[in-house]
Amino acid sequence: MSAYILVALGGFFGAITRFSLSTMIKRIWPITFPLATFFINSIGSFLLGWIVGIHANLHMQWLVGTGFMGAFTTFSTFTLESIQLMQQRKWGVLLLYVGGSYSVGILCAFLGMALSSTFA
C-alpha cells in the first residue's frame, strides 16, 4: 500500500479520535485549563514513543506514527490556547500549561520508548 494512502488513513482516524476525545473531555471537565489538548498531546507523545521504541516497520510508522499521531496530536491548538491564555492574562495557567505540556510530553515519549522495550 502506498505511503500516501497509509498516512491519509491514519490521519483520518487520528483526527476523528482527537475530535471525539476532545469533545468528551471538554464536556466532562469544563475548566479554564486546556485539559483536552494537554491530555491528547501527552497520550500522543507516549504512543509515538512506543512506536519508535518497538522499531515498527515502515508501513506502521506511516500509518500510526505519521498519519494517526500527526492528526491526533495538535501543536497548532496548543499554541492558540497559549495565546488565548496570554490575552486573558491567566499567567499561572499559561505557565502550568506550557511548562507541563513540554515536560509531560517529553516524559511520556520517554516512558513510551522505555516501556515498549520491556513489553516487546
Q: Give the annotated binding-site residues for Na(+).
A: 70, 73
Cβ neighbours of residue 82 closer than 8 Å, sequence gap 6 or more = 94, 97, 98
Q: Cα(47)–Cα(54) distance, rounded to whole angstroms? A: 11
Q: Cα(70)–Cα(73) distance, rounded to whole angstroms? A: 6
- Known binding residues are 70, 73
